[in-house]
């Protein structure tokens, strides 16, 4: 009996994320497509108070619009000293149209004078898979680190240059794409989701 290939729409226009999902789902009967492949869609609302709320809202929003399975993620940085900031506002910490440099500068400024032992934080990622009617699966990943007072490294994006992994004394921006995926919050969440999808296929 021939295996039926299902389609999953990844709710992003970020080609790097789409490539990551294609590799991760490569052993399962799913074709991965991005929103960019389907034309122009409105932005999904992101007014949740948690990463899980935002991921679920995005997945349901685009699943209803496309009528297909939709996978969405929401992720960001939580700094303990700042009581979880920037959190769900990670991408727009310094303002609605802020870039990586603006966000990093605000984070550095907000931690001026804070000693290393109080600069703990984590990157967190929540994935949600939905059809047009409901959320089917969710998965989460996180990675712990320390926030530096100056950027290090040229790889990655966002807060990667400020996020130090003390055990190896390297920031995420000092790692190759493959090294980062092996330990990152998104890499962990993707692997957890793939395990759940594989179980459903049995």
Average pLDDT, the chain: 90
Average pLDDT over residues 155-177: 93
With a cut of 70, say whether residue 4 has pLDDT above it. Answer: no
pLDDT score of 115: 96
Q: Pick the catalytic residue: 37, 74, 100, 160? A: 74
How far apart are alpha carbons 45 and 58 in whole angstroms? 7
pLDDT given at position 1: 41
Q: What is the pLDDT of residues 48-90, one digit of tens each?
A: 999 999 999 999 999 999 999 999 999 999 999 999 999 999 9
Arithmetic mean of pLDDT, 143-168: 94
Residues in contact with 176: Cβ distance below 8 Å, sequence separation at least 6, in sequence order:
155
Task: Tell me the per-residue pLDDT of 17-42, one tens digit each, with 9 for 90 and over.
Answer: 788 788 888 788 888 888 888 878 88
What is the maximal distance between C-alpha atoms in the chain?
A: 65
**CA 176-58-171 angle, 5° bins:** 20
Domains and CATH numbers, the chain: 6-201 (3.90.950.10)
**Residue 202's pLDDT band (cuts 50, 70, 90):** low
Question: What are the residues whose beta carbons fall under 8 Å from the beta carbon of 187, sequence distance 6 or more?
Answer: 20, 141, 180, 181
Q: pTM for the complete prediction?
A: 0.89
Is the CB of residue 94 less than 8 Å from the CB of residue 77? Answer: no
Q: How confident is the model at residue 135 (pLDDT cuts 50, 70, 90)?
A: very high
Q: What is the pLDDT of residue 3?
A: 53
Residues 6 or more apart in contact with residue 13 via CB below 8 angstroms? 34, 35, 36
Q: Does the annotation mark 100 as catalytic?
A: no
Q: To 5 degrees, how large is the angle CA 90–CA 92–CA 93? A: 65
Residue with tokens 């290939």: 5
């Amino acid at each position: 009996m021939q295996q039926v290939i299902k389609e999953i729409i990844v709710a992003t226009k970020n080609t790097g994320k789409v490539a990551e999902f294609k590799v991760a789902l490569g052993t399962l009967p799913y074709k991965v497509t991005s929103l960019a492949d389907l034309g122009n869609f409105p932005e999904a609302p992101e007014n949740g108070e948690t990463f899980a709320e935002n991921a679920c809202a995005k997945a349901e929003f685009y699943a209803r619009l496309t009528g297909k399975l939709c996978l969405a993620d929401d992720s960001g940085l939580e700094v303990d000293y700042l009581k979880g900031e920037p959190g769900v506002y990670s991408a727009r910490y310094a303002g609605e149209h802020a870039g990586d440099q603006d966000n990093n500068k605000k984070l550095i400024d907000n931690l001026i004078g804070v000693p290393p032992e109080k600069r703990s934080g984590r990157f967190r990622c929540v994935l949600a898979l939905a059809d047009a009617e409901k959320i089917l699966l969710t998965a989460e990943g996180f990675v712990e680190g320390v926030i530096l007072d100056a950027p290090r490294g040229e790889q990655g994006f966002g807060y990667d240059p400020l996020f130090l992994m003390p055990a190896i004394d390297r920031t995420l921006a000092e790692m190759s794409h493959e090294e980062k995926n092996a330990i990152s919050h998104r890499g962990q969440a993707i692997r957890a989701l793939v395990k759940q999808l594989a179980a459903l296929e049995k």
